[in-house]
């Protein structure tokens, strides 16, 4: 069964440029993770969306990374460490990347299975 949280937005200080580390910027994060089919109608039989959101927020807002790739990998590995999670896909997007050109966003995806 696929579970997802889409469009999480955070303000953080990730990037290789000095300005990114000082001024910060907006990031969007989407996560998908796969669990076995849920039996019954009890939260203990699945993974709490609230827990995953808090985990993502703690990583994005609480740590600093030069690369979005490293940020996505950290998020993915932490979610995959949850016992019931079998596979994870993490998408990290810089909403306004510091690129000399016109583009909507830049991002990375990280996928991993147990």
Q: Domains plus CATH for the chain?
A: 2-113 (3.30.1130.10)
pTM of the predicted model as reported, rounded to 2 decimal places: 0.93
In this prediction, residues 65-94 reach a mean pLDDT of 98
pLDDT tens-digit series, residues 24-56:
999 999 999 999 888 888 888 889 999 999 999
Question: Of 94, 112, 113, 114, which one is the catalytic site residue?
Answer: 94
Name the strands in the sheet holding 2-12, side by side, starting at the edge strand that comes first in the sequence. Answer: 2-12, 25-35, 85-94, 106-113
The pLDDT, as a whole number, for residue 2 is 95
Question: Do 88 and 76 meet the contact criterion of CB atoms below 8 Å apart?
Answer: yes
Distances (CA, A) of 79 to 4, 76, 92, 95, 110: 12, 5, 14, 23, 12
Active site residue 112: no
């Amino acid at each position: 069964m696929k579970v997802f949280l889409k469009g999480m937005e955070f303000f953080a200080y990730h990037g290789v440029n000095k300005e990114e580390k000082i001024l910060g910027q907006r990031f969007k994060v989407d996560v998908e993770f796969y669990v076995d089919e849920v039996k019954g109608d009890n939260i203990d039989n699945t993974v709490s969306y609230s827990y995953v959101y808090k985990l993502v927020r703690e990583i994005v807002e609480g740590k600093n990374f030069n690369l979005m790739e490293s940020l996505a990998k950290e998020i993915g590995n932490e979610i995959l460490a949850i016992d019931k999670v079998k596979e994870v896909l993490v998408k990290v997007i810089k909403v306004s990347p510091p690129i000399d050109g016109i583009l909507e966003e830049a991002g990375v995806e990280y996928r991993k299975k147990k």
